[in-house]
Amino acid sequence: MSNAIAIITGAIKETRDDFTAVLADRSISFEREAGFAIQVLQNSEFALKVAMGDKQSVMNAVKNIAAIGISLNPARKQAYLVPRGGKICLDISYIGLIDIAIASGSIMWAQAELVRENDAFTLNGYDQPPTHVFNPFGKDRGEIVGTYVVAKLHNGDHLTTTMSIDEVHSIRNRSESFKKGNGPWKTDEGEMIKKTVIKRAYKLWPKTDRLDHAMNHLNTENGEGLAPDAAQQPDHVDVAPLIAEALTTTTDADALAFWKANNGRLAKQPQDHAKLKRAISDHRANLRAKAEADEARTVEMPAAPAKTAATSVDDEFVQQMDNAAPSYIPE
């Protein structure tokens, strides 16, 4: 074993120049990360055996640490070296993804949680944190029914992204590693559920090269993405970009027009259809409140207090939304 460690240590040391050349975060030290990598392999006979069988995979994993700007420091729980599919892979945790998003300037902070069937959960709109009441020490919270992540942007706005457990499993079932019967979906399901909703939320967060690199690494080299045949399915429409685009409309009429033009694309996805309807309904109510306040100011009258969140909509409002929806979509 000592001879194998010496060989792998030599291979890792060979990556020093490449590591330095692609380093995304100057606070990361080659010496420390090399030490963490060697320690991981020393502590697992199986991992060391895999590393000896594919030394290049170890070298690639170490270089990816630098390129992505992540650490193997076990205290930080950002990333791990794991044997998978006959090679050593750099696995990034959901904590690592959030840390990268924060460090690269995409967001200020984020929090991901699992929702269980006995929790009390209320979605307060996609631009507000939800209300999630549960006992973190309870033993009777029930099965996982969904997940969400809340992120705060640098302009002070919040973005909430939710996924039902069925949506998560739909992604999981198309993962190449899950299809092969191994990988993190088998060993760390809770973390993978959180990672899945973060990967969806990332589409709405301000883009950074480091975050893009991390996501691409997970989806391709780690096999967490969709299998090629599944990735090309034309019938599934991702609702997250639709919601993001809908929230850019600046008038009630434009928001309604967007709903009319796009809600039919979710005809075969009733849960996503409901999400889009809720997001646009809340957005339209906020636009109406803003328009009323602006109109009051133009006639030099005291403006009515602007509504900060849409809690309900009037009958005419709902009727407009329903009239614009395909009748074959369940409400």
Domain boundaries, the chain: 2-92, 95-231, 239-323
Asked if the model's pLDDT at residue 249 lies above 80, the reply is: yes
pLDDT of residue 229: 38
Asked if the model's pLDDT at residue 328 lies above 70, the reply is: no
With bands split at pLDDT 50, 70 and 90, how would you rate the model's confidence at 122?
Answer: very high
SS3 115: strand
Query: Can you tell me the mean pLDDT for 110-131?
Result: 94
Task: Please answer whether residues 225 and 214 qualify as being in contact, where contact means their C-beta atoms are separated by less than 8 angstroms.
Answer: no
In whole angstroms, give the CA distance from residue 19 to residue 13. 10
Q: Which residue has the tokens 């590693």?
A: 177
With bands split at pLDDT 50, 70 and 90, how would you rate the model's confidence at 11?
Answer: very high
With bands split at pLDDT 50, 70 and 90, how would you rate the model's confidence at 231?
Answer: very low
Q: Work out the mean pLDDT of the chain and round it to a whole number.
A: 85
In whole angstroms, give the CA distance from residue 280 to residue 274. 10
Asked if the model's pLDDT at residue 152 lies above 60, the reply is: yes
Residue ranges in 220-299 assigned as alpha helix (H): 228-231, 239-246, 252-262, 270-298
| Six-digit token string for 182 | 């191994």
CA–CA distances in Å: residue 232 to residues 62, 223, 224, 229: 32, 16, 16, 6
Q: Which residue has the tokens 């967001």?
A: 107
Asked if the model's pLDDT at residue 325 lies above 90, the reply is: no
Beta strands in the chain (DSSP E): 79-84, 87-92, 109-116, 120-122, 131-133, 144-152, 158-164
With bands split at pLDDT 50, 70 and 90, how would you rate the model's confidence at 321?
Answer: low
Q: 307 or 11, which is more confident? A: 11
Asked if the model's pLDDT at residue 114 lies above 90, the reply is: yes
Task: Please answer whether residues 45 and 1 qualify as being in contact, where contact means their C-beta atoms are separated by less than 8 angstroms.
Answer: yes
Query: Can you tell me the mean pLDDT for 21-47?
Result: 93
